[in-house]
Amino acid sequence: MRTSLVLAVSAALVAGTALGLAPAAQAAEAGGSTGIRFVDIAGEGGTVLKANVLTPAGSAAGARHPLIVLPTSWAMPQIEYLVPAQKLADAGYVVVSYNSRGFWQSGGEIETAGPKDVADASKVIDWALANTAADPDRVGMGGVSYGAGISLLAAAHDPRVKAVTALSGWADLIESIYSGRTQHLQAAALLGGAGALTGRPGPELKQILSDFLSSNLAKEEDMIAWGRTRSPVTHLDRINANGAAIMLGNAWGDTIFPPNQYASFYEKLTGPKRLEFRPGDHATAELTGLFGLPNDTWTNARRWFDRYLKGADNGIDREQPVQLKSRSTGGYEGYPDWKSVHANQRTFDLGGTQRVWANVDSGANGGVTLLTNALDQFLRTPPVVSVPLLPRSFAGVWQSERYDAPQRVRGTVKVHTTVASTEESGTLVAYLYDVGPLGVGKLVSNAPYTFHGKAPGQPFVVDLELFSTAYDVPAGHRLALVVDTVDPLYIEHNPTGAQLTFSSPAADPSYVSVPLRKE
């Protein structure tokens, strides 16, 4: 599912037209003599899927080539992957990219990676094996966002899939847009709007979105069941049994599919695997590669396919499988697994008692979906607040001591606290800031948390994982945890006049646990 590239790709296509190049011609100029065909493929139930096929040039008669299938992203047109597909075809792959059902000129209705989408992927593989020189023993799938999710689900249901590169995708749809049992408002609204503009949402999707955005808690279990069916983690046993080599890539600031759910999924995979996290927002890490520009994500995706579809000894399987790129330095760091990222923990206390009134935005917030973290990626400008000026009536604030040495935050920050509310329902949002000598705080991470059915005035424990990140806090700075109740990214559930009390009982002290890189 992806909206972040719609404007960018449209702009690029307009630019190509201005240069007198049709999209297919642009791809041809980028890659050379590889052939391209635009075809119709019969998907599940005979639904027509619009596709393009690129085949290696000059191959010997009877030669078989590894196959890569690329489902398009949410709301993206059929030509999305032409440039990277051209490069793959020039390297000896048969590449079939198809428009996911319900979007643009493909038939059917949007299924949101439902059973028909998974069946479509197998139908496309069937077609490629019957109509091209594709090798049935060397089949790979990949894509960005929606294409990533469909590829992972296909790896669970079709044992022919031997390698997957799932970029900016999801493993757990619930933990992506409903983490902390809080609706990610901007993400869901963008997906719904883009789907309506570029495709045909079916009645089921329309109902799910309506219930989700209207906070229809009576339908919560139905929404969760719908999301679980479409979550690769639900089908983990089948993915592991089939044994596909899986590469996962995502951005630290992905506001549609946050990184935590990918990291958790990665740890549970038992086959060949790789995890890459980089700065940016949803799909921005892959963006330049769609236009043929140098791009680490696409380079490693190609290396992954070369290793596990061609058997190339290119060393990618001998590298540290977890590769993290810092938001602060831009350098890569390798780890043997995700657990090793969290090997060194440092805590600071959330002492005392603080009370905040709900329903008012304190000024601390996570920014704007797609825009804010893309700016951080390219300009290193995260959202900022003046921590001393935050209104204490509407925000709880706790600060660490000043650090004598840089603190290299890596992985998932955890908050443990005790909360009491004057109402049975409510929402809080926690933010971790890097605070400089002048009190200016730069956002390190955040996450929402919603509760229902609590006894008013009765304390309860909250354990909240902030969205994973890699950020360096300079020497002389401190960390601050800020908690308020309103953020434009999320739907909040605070009744008018509600008040939250944060405490730190002696028997169960409140704290923030920060994972730090060992020097």
- For the ranges 175-179, 329-333, 397-401, 503-507, the lowest mean pLDDT is seen at 329-333
Give yes or no for residue 452 having a pLDDT over 70.
Answer: yes
Q: What is the pLDDT of residue 331?
A: 87
Q: Write down the residue that tokens 């296509």 correspond to.
A: 13
pLDDT at 23: 38
Residue 134 neighbours by CB distance under 10 Å: 25
Residue 10 clears pLDDT 90, i.e. is over it: no
**The predicted structure's pLDDT at residue 62:** 80
Torsion 165-157-266-178 (CA) sign: positive
pLDDT of residue 518: 83
pTM for this predicted structure: 0.91
The encoded tokens of residue 340 equal: 């090793």
Q: Is the pLDDT of residue 390 over 90?
A: yes
| Whole-number Å distance between alpha carbons of 263 and 341 | 11
Q: What is the pLDDT of residue 1?
A: 43
Q: How far apart are CA 99 and CA 175, in angstroms?
A: 26
Asked if the model's pLDDT at residue 32 lies above 60, the reply is no
DSSP 468: P
pLDDT tens, position by position, 59-115: 777 889 999 999 999 999 999 999 999 999 999 999 999 999 999 999 999 999 999
Q: What is the pLDDT of residues 149-195, one digit of tens each?
A: 999 999 999 999 999 999 999 999 999 999 999 999 999 999 999 99
Q: Taking a C-beta distance cutoff of 8 angstroms, is the pair 413, 515 a contact?
A: yes
Of 6-10, 51-55, 110-114, 166-170, where does mean pLDDT reach its minimum? 6-10
Q: What was the pLDDT predicted at 341?
A: 97
Separation of alpha carbons 352 and 9, rounded Å: 51
For residue range 346-365, list pLDDT tens digits in order.
999 999 999 999 999 999 99
State the virtual CA torsion across 238, 259, 147, 281 in degrees, nearest 10.
180
- Could you give the CA distance from residue 155 to residue 240 in angstroms, rounded to a whole number? 9
Task: With a cut of 50, say whether residue 449 has pLDDT above it.
Answer: yes
Is-contact 427 490, C-beta < 8 A?
yes
- As a whole number, mean pLDDT of residues 268-293 equals 96
What gap in Å lies between CA 100 and CA 202, rounded to an integer? 14
Mean pLDDT over each residue of the chain, to the nearest integer: 92
Over 90: is that where the pLDDT of 284 sits? yes
Least confident of 60-69, 132-141, 425-434: 60-69
